[in-house]
Structure 1
Amino acid sequence: MLTGSRDLQLGQQLEHLRAAASLFAIHLLTASGAALALLATLAAARGEWRAAFVWLGIALIVDALDGPIARRYQVGSRLPRWDGSALDFVIDYTTYVFVPAIILASGCGLGTFFGILAAMIVAITGALYFADTRMKEPDNSFRGFPAAWNLAVFVLFALQPHPFVTFMVTVLLAVGTFLPVNFVHPVRVTKWRWLTLLMMVLWMICAGILIATGFDQNSTVEMLLLVTSFYLLGVAGVQQLLARF
């Protein structure tokens, strides 16, 4: 009887360890974003812009997957030692703000002074946004520009507008961080979700084409990238405006 009881206890302990390891693997998936950010930074330091955006793109995919998986398996309540929200914020700031700021400083034709200034604006306002306790609206949209600098900097890098335009877009988006204007979450906002998802998929296809072709000029792809970017940037604000009538 004692042997059987010990075997049962050992089996339960092993099962508990297996379950904990499986849950911790989800945290490792989230934490892998730090490694992807490091690879993107190293690529940017070498001026390998395509590689930098590839790593950021993979980080974006990981970010889209880890949250739903964590909620599905209730990682927060079942493995409370590690705060998944805090981990996610650290990774998101790195991949959405800090690394794109590095690319903006060196890869978007702003020159040394304005490149560093623009990057500092991004880094500071992005940090403040991640500390904003009112960033989420009841419809799951974001209040203020959600520091999605990985997407914004990609568009600026791909289109290479006049440096003045690049700098002013950076300033306007940074100011938008503090405005009471909504910005869409492509998955969680239910209103016009299918249209928004379609626009997001088209945006990603355009981005993939530009990266694969080494950012060769392609007016059709660039125009579609711009149109989808404007939609994703403004759709929640339009919904917010329409709700007032």
Structure 2
Amino acid sequence: MEQNSQPVSTSVPQRMRAAAFSVHIFTAMGGGVALIAMLEAVREHWASMFGWLGVALIIDAIDGPIARRLDVMRLQPNWSGEVLDLVVDFVTYVFVPAYAITSSGRLLPMAAPLLGIGIVVSGALYFADRRMKAADNHFRGFPALWNAAAFYLFLLHLPPALSSLGIAILIVLTFVPFHVLHPLRVVRLRWLTLWMLAAWAVLAVYALARDFDVGIPIVAVLCAIAAYIVGSDAAIRLIRTFKA
């Protein structure tokens, strides 16, 4: 949702304007959901925290199409849906997961606060970068998906040294101009991406229901889907280079 400077005709019914504004309220509710997720994180109810972050993810996925359907940019030009979306996304994708990662006990104690600061700072810079998306809708660099990174941190339960190294690498990759697949907006192989996304959602819910106590096959599939999202564009470009 982006701000539109065009005036709204006074003939537009108030119910249409109210419906348009309700979309902004719906988007802002993602921030309220993030607060609940943070409260669960403070209590170390990690599976519940991820569940609430999942609710915020659903809100983020559907508010845009609803906004376009209701013509929110034209009917409510005084509120910037784009800014609102970025504010909520920063809390749900970066800040709450940064707290979970830092306080989880899965990182080296000395490194945890520094890495947490690195997550928040790099995430803030990424959200402010006007080049965060390429022309073909791929993300440039690691797209501050720290909610997903935190999920895999709890899922894999690696030694603290390896987990700390992995988080440090992702912070650096935020500023590396490789392309990461946007699961909903990249046209190429979208059918495959959507099927993988659906499979990931089902397996992730199962993992949360089991408090991450799942077998190696499920962990392997979840990791393979993550590798596809992060590395498919690089793999395709590499194949094309060899064929050229």
**Fold equivalence (TM over 0.5):** yes
**TM-score, normalisation: structure 1:** 0.90
Could you give the per-residue CA deviations for residues 60-112 of structure 1, whole angstroms, max 9, x where no partner exists?
11111011211222211221111000000000111000000001011251143
Q: Give 1:128 deviation, angstroms.
A: 0.5
Find the counterpart in structure 1 of residue 31 from structure 2: 34
- How many Å separate the matches in 1 of 2:71 and 2:158? 45
- 1:103 pairs with 2:100: yes
CA distance 1:242–1:20, shift in 2 (3 Å): farther
Q: 1:53 aligns with which of 50, 53, 63?
A: 50
Residue 74 of structure 2 corresponds to 77
The CA distance in 1 between the partners of 2:47 and 2:100, in whole Å, is 11
Please state how far the C-alpha of 1:167 moved relative to its aligned partner: 1.1
Contact 1:200 1:232 in 2 (8 A): no
Distance in 2 between residues matched to 1:140 and 1:241, nearest whole Å: 19
The alpha carbon displacement at 1:147 in A equals 0.5
Considering Cα pairs closer than 8 Å and 6+ residues apart, tell me whether 1 or 2 has the greater RCO. Answer: 2
Separation (CA, whole Å) in 1 of partners of 2:71 and 2:138: 23
Q: What CA distance in whole angstroms lies between the structure 1 residues aligned with 2:154 and 2:205?
A: 14
How far apart in 1 are the matches of 2:230 and 2:121?
A: 21
1:134 to 2:136 alignment:
no
CA contact (8 A) 1:108 1:157 kept: no
Greater percentage in helix: 1
> What SS does the aligned partner of 1:112 have?
coil
| Number of positions where the alignment pairs a residue of Structure 1 with one of Structure 2 | 234
Q: Counterparts of 1:92 and 1:19 in 2: how far apart (Å)?
A: 26
Partners in 2 of 1:13 and 1:25 — Cα distance?
19
Unpaired runs of 5+ residues, structure 1, are 1-11
* 1:162 paired residue number: 159
What runs of 5+ residues in structure 2 fail to find an aligned partner?
A: 1-8
Q: Cα distance 1:194–1:145, how it changes in 2: closer, same or farther (>3 A)?
A: same
Give distance in 2, aligned partners of 1:15 and 1:69: 18
1:223 aligns to what?
220
Whichever of the two has the greater Rg, that structure is 1
Deviations 1:7-66 (A, max 9, x none): xxxxx9796221111001111111011001100001000111111001001101111101
**Is residue 182–residue 240 contact of structure 1 (8 Å, CA) maintained in 2?**
no
2:230 to 223, 228, 233: 233
Residue 210 of structure 1: aligned partner: 207
- Which residue number in structure 2 is paired with residue 4 of structure 1? none
- Aligned-pair distance for 1:113? 2.5
Matches within 5 A, 1:162-201: 162-201=159-198
Alignment identity in percent? 42
In structure 1, distance between residues paired with 2:201 and 2:176? 27
Is the CA contact 1:106–1:112 (under 8 Å) kept in the aligned structure 2? no
In structure 2, C-alpha distance between the alignment counterparts of 1:55 and 1:238, rounded to whole Å: 33
For 1:198 and 1:118, locate their aligned partners in 2 and report how far apart those are by CA, in whole Å.
Answer: 33
Q: Distance in 2 between matches of 1:106 and 1:91?
A: 22
Letter in 1 for 2:117: M
> Which deviates more from structure 2 when the two are superposed, residues 96-105 or residues 71-80?
71-80
Change (3 A) 1:242 1:27: farther
SS at structure 2 position matched to 1:113: coil
